[in-house]
Structure 1
Amino acid sequence: MQKKKQKELEVSKKNSYLWGLSLILLLFLTLVIFLYILYRNNRKLSEQKEINLQQKINDIKQKEELSLTKAILDGEERERERIAKDLHDGLGGMLAGVKINFSTWSSNNLAGEKQQEFYRILGQLDNSVSELRHIARNLMPESLLNFGLETALRDLCDFYTRKNLIIDFQPLNINKKLSLSTQLSIYRIVQELLANAVKHSEATNILLQCSQAESAFFITIEDNGKGFQKDVVQPQSMGLRNIRNRINYLQGKMEISTDHDGTSINIELNTHEN
């Protein structure tokens, strides 16, 4: 009987030991799980902080790049304006004065065939003055400053239209209250696109569509030219770099599709204006 009680006591002690050990293991396992969850949460928090920090760094870089791009573009426009004024008011005025003086002199000193030959040369001078003033207007389009973007783009299309080239301009909902810097950027983009199409595509028809929906401005230009190989285009060419700089400045994007039947370019810009 005593042995039986002693055995039951040993079993009881053993069970208590096992229960205690199980409880310790359970507490240890709970602690491990808690530490793991805490570590995982801290890691996620650290990763999120790293992401937020990187985002802030990217935002700062983007703002710095946009600020630098704006400064460059503004500097270009100021230089264009200065050159245009010098050409139009300075050199253009001087050549116009020379033409008037020559006309007055020829009427008093030349006659017959010599006078006809002189007026032929004077006509060449007159054409040169007209071309000079056209270059000045192209550098700083007066129609844009006086009448707005839509009129300036229409004048630009008229300028590039040739006997064997039709340019169909289709404007839609262009906001007349866009800031001048935005209008200038859009004008320069279209100007470069048209110049490239006229110069390289050998197209006979060009379609230019410009439309606006709230703060989004869309440009589509399509031609029926010979197209080009994308890998042949120099990514650092001056024209393409200028276009991309202005697109980046307006936080936009550009898609180019080209084959032997022609080229299509779609651009979406953010004017930041409603």
Structure 2
Amino acid sequence: MSDHILVERRDAIQIIRLNRPEKKNAITRAMYAAMAKALRKGDADDAIRVHVFLGVPGAFSAGNDLQDFMTAATSNDMGKEILEFLTALSSARKPIVSGVNGLAIGVGTTIHLHCDLTFATPESLFRTPFVDLGLVPEAASSLLAPNLMGHQKAFALLALGHGFTADAAHEAGIVYRIVSADRLEDDVMQAAAEIAAKPPEAMQIARALMRMPAEPLSDRIVREARHFAERLTSEETRAALLAFFTRKK
């Protein structure tokens, strides 16, 4: 595990913290590998119900460590760790909550497109200068961002590289809630705890349904109905209904 990625478990919550403040959390290949490992391990652990991503004050991440990546490019070993992380991130079964306090540049922005709830401080800045560097959008952001915020805002973010303030990111749907810096981690953890307290199988199915590709409404109704019928006979639902009716008495 990279020293620049700290992994902590609090009850049913796994916290993955980027911790390279001297480089504003610029991400190296070793950091990608460590985050991928943590996501896979947490997803495989039934005791973990939610993942949390955090950075340090002033920076969630300044993006990729370009020096590290230029070294990788010259050795024909470009992208393996990145793809492993992005695959683990995009295929994670369990909900993901993130908190941003400061810079969220490049992949420091696109990570949050895969999160279910993102909190940010008013000082946060989301920016993806891919084209400015002669590069292109990554992490499926060219698909996720237009679906989330529409073509024009996505173009401003991903192609023009315009910075989005916390307010703009909130309006675009990247951010769920803007909170003060002194409240950020408490509010992130409170949201994660609320998720963790829900029936885990039902939560994972509900999340997976919302993240599926577009399909005809009639197909989605049938798919939801099948899951709904299966859930009615599950132990989770029996326990939840019993608790509900007990409270009603």
TM-score (norm 2): 0.25
TM-score (norm 1): 0.24
Higher normalized contact order (CA 8 Å, seq sep 6+, divided by chain length): 2
Larger helix share, 1 or 2: 1
